[in-house]
Structure 1
Amino acid sequence: MREISLDRLRTLVTIADHRSFAEAARVLHLAAPTVSLHIQELEERIGAPLLSRKRGHVQPTAIGETLLAKARQLLDDAGQALDDARRQVQGLEGRVRLGASTGAIAHLLPRALEVLGRQHPAIDVQITVLTSKDTLARLAQGSLDVGLVALPQPTIAGLVIKPWRRDPVMAFMPVQWQCPARVTPRWLASKPLILNDSTTRLSHLTTKWFAAGGQQPVARIELNYNDAIRRLVAAGYGAAVLPHEDSMIPGQDAGTTVRPLRPALWRRLGIAHSRHVERATQHVLDVLLDLAC
Structure 2
Amino acid sequence: MREISLDRLRTLVTIADLRSFAAAARVLHLAAPTVSLHIQELEERIGAPLLSRKRGHVQPTTIGESLLEKARHLLADAGQALDDVRRQVQGLGGRVRLGASTGAIAHLLPQALEVLAQQHPAIDVQVSVLTSQNTLTRLAEGSLDVGLVALPQPTMAGLVIKPWRRDPVMAFMPAHWECPARVTPRWLTSKPLILNDSTTRLSQLTAEWFAAGGHHPVPRIQLNYNDAIKSLVSAGYGAALLPHEATTPSPDPRIVMRALRPALWRRLGVAHRAGCVESSTQHVLDVLWDLRLI
TM bucket, shorter chain: over 0.9
Map 1:119-134; keep pairs closer than 5 Å: 119-134=119-134
Distance between the aligned counterparts of 1:256 and 1:134, measured in 2?
Answer: 33
- Alignment of 1:145 onto 2:153: no
Give 1:58 deviation, angstroms.
1.3
Residue 65 of structure 1: how far off its partner (Å): 1.2
Residues 68-107 of structure 1 correspond to what in structure 2 (within 5 A)?
A: 68-107=68-107
| 2-structure distance, mates of 1:174, 1:189 | 15
More displaced 10-residue stretch of structure 1: 46-55 or 255-264: 46-55
Secondary structure of the 1:39 match is helix
> In structure 2, what is the Cα distance between the partners aligned to 1:41 and 1:128?
48
* Structure 1 counterpart of 2:264: 265
User: Could you report, residue by residue, the CA deviation over 1:38-97 in whole angstroms, capped at 9, with x for unpaired residues?
Assistant: 111111122222111111111111211111111111111111111111111111111111
Amino acid at match of 2:100: A
Find the aligned partners of 1:61 and 1:218 in 2 and give their Cα distance. Answer: 81
1:196 maps to amino acid: N
Identify the residue that residue 23 of structure 1 maps to in structure 2.
23
TM-score, normalised relative to structure 1: 0.97
SS in 2 for 1:264: coil
- In the aligned structure 2, how far is the partner of 1:112 from the partner of 1:234? 28
Partner of 2:221: 221
Alignment-derived partner of residue 44 in structure 1:
44
Partner residue, 1:114 = 114
Distance 1:259 1:108 in 2: 21
Match of residue 193 from structure 1: 193
* Ranges in structure 2 where 5+ consecutive residues have no aligned partner: none
Once the two structures are TM-superposed, the CA of residue 277 in structure 1 deviates from its matched residue by 2.1
Q: Are 1:159 and 2:159 counterparts?
A: yes
Aligned amino acid, residue 266 of structure 1: W
SS of the residue corresponding to residue 147 of structure 2 reads strand
Q: Kindly provide the CA deviation profile for residues 14-45 of structure 1, in whole angstroms up to 9, marking residues without a partner as x.
A: 11111111111111111111111111111112
Give the Cα–Cα distance (whole angstroms) in 2 for the partners of residues 126 and 254 of structure 1. 34
Shift of 1:246: 1.2
SS in structure 1 at match of 2:263: strand
Taking structure 2 as the reference length, the TM-score comes to 0.97
1:235 maps to 2:235 = yes
Deviation at 1:255, TM superposition (A): 0.7
For the aligned residue pairs, the C-alpha RMSD in angstroms reads 1.1
Q: Distance in 2 between matches of 1:203 and 1:50?
A: 70
Matched to 1:43, the amino acid is E
Q: Deviations over 1:120-171 (max 9, x none)?
A: 1111111111111111111111111111100000011111100000000011
Identical-residue share of aligned pairs (%): 81
Match of 1:56 in 2: 56
Q: CA deviation at 1:253?
A: 2.6
Structure 1 segments unaligned to the other structure (5+ residues): none
Alpha-carbon deviation of 1:212?
1.2
Alpha-carbon separation, structure 1, partners of 2:62 and 2:233: 75
Aligned to 2:32: 32
Distance 1:92 1:52 in 2: 45
**Inter-partner Cα distance in structure 2 for 1:110 and 1:226:** 15
Specify the SS of the correspondent of 2:292: coil
| Structure 1 segments of 4+ aligned residues over 2 angstroms from their partners | none
- Number of residue pairs matched by the alignment: 292
1:262 to partner: Cα distance:
0.7
1:254 aligns with 2:247: no
Q: Distance in 2 between matches of 1:253 and 1:146?
A: 32
